[in-house]
Homo-oligomer: A and B are copies of this chain.
C-alpha cells in the first residue's frame, strides 16, 4: 500500500525489492568506461538478426530473460512485464513480450521509460497486484537514427551538441520480498515545454523537465540534493546537464559532486566520437542495471535518485513546427543495508 506525498511524489510503505539486474549492449558501449559492468556485449549491432529493429527487440527480450535467469525465476512466475522503447508503436517491447508469455503493459515515455516502468512496477507490487514484475527498456543507435534523423548509411555530419543513441537494453526483476536494493519513493513528472524546437538538441529540450521533477521531488519530500549519494539524470548529455545545473541553481538547488548523467557515464567523451554524450531508452537502463544497481547492492551507494528524462516529440510533430515537450520521472533506490 502506497502513500501520496505532496503534489507529484509518493512513498512505498513496503518498498519493492530489485532482486536482479541484467543488460546487453552494443560494441561501442562495450568499448566505453562501463564495459566491465555489462553482462553481454554484442560483437555486431545486428545481433544475428536480419534487421536492426529485430536486433533491438532481441536485446530487450534477452536482457529480460537474463535478469530472470540470474535468480532462477521462470517467466510463468512473473505477474507483469512493463516495457517500452523509442520505435514507432514500441515494436521492440511488443515483440519482446511476444516471446515471453507474460501479461504485458506497454509504456511510452521516450527516454524516461525506464523510470516510468520502475515506478509503475513498484506500484503494482506495493499495491498488492503482483508479487513479481519485470521491467525493461532499450534502444538501438541505428534504428533511432533512421527513424528520427537520417539513415546511418547516409553518413550525415552530426552537430556538436547532438547526442548518440545508446545501443543497449536493461532489465530489472522486482519482487515483494527478498534481498536487493529497494525502491522507496518516487516523483512522477509533468510534461514541460519551454519552446526548444531543435531536434538535434534533446538535452536542452529535456533539461527543464528534469529541473521541474527534481525540484518537485525535493519540495514534496522536504529534502535537499545533499541527502543523496548520487543524483543521476537519464540522458541529458553535456549540454542538457549544464542547463539543468543552471536551472536548479536559479531555484536555489545546487547539483555538485553527487550529480551525474547516464549519458556522460556510458561513453568516454574525450575518446569516443559521441559529441554531447549518450541518449535513448537504453541509456539509463544499461547504466542503472550495469553500474548503479551493483553499487547499491554492495552498499557503496546508500541512496540514489534516478531521474530519467524523455523528449516527447515525433518526426511528424517536428515537421509540423511543434516544439519539443520533455518529461522526467524520478525514483529513489536505496541500498539493502538501509532497508
Contacts and interface: CB of A to CB of B under 8 A. Distances in A.
A112 to B, nearest CB: 9
B79 A325 contact: no
A252 to B, nearest CB: 22
A109 interface: yes
Contact of A2 (B13, B101, B127, B313): B127
A124 B4 CA distance: 10
Interface in A117-133: 120, 123-124, 126-131
B316 A129 contact: no
Interface string A87-106: 11111001101101111111
Contacts of A97: 190-191, 325
A8 B193 CA distance: 38
Interface in A31-73: 50-51, 53-54
Interface in A154-191: 188-191
B129 A108 contact: no
Given A104-B191, A108-B84, A312-B94, A4 B130 contact: yes
Interface in A284-339: 312-317, 320, 322, 325, 327
Nearest to A186: B129
A1 interface: yes
A108 B89 contact: yes
Chain copies in complex? 2
A104 B190 contact: yes
A10 interface: yes
Contacts of A103: 7-8, 188-190
A276 interface: no
Nearest to A51: B320
Nearest to A79: B4
B91 A316 contact: yes
A312 B106 contact: yes
Contacts of A104: 188-191, 327
Given A312-B89, A312-B94, A4 B84 contact: no
A171 to B, nearest CB: 16
Contacts of A108: 84, 89-90, 106-108
B4 A325 contact: no
A235 interface: no
A110 interface: yes
B98 A325 contact: yes
Interface of A: 1-4, 7-8, 10, 13, 50-51, 53-54, 76, 79-80, 84, 86-91, 94-95, 97-98, 100-110, 116, 120, 123-124, 126-131, 147, 188-193, 312-317, 320, 322, 325, 327
The 9 A-B residue pairs with the shortest CB-CB distance in the complex, in nearest-first order: A127-B127, A103-B188, A94-B312, A89-B314, A2-B129, A88-B88, A2-B128, A97-B191, A98-B191
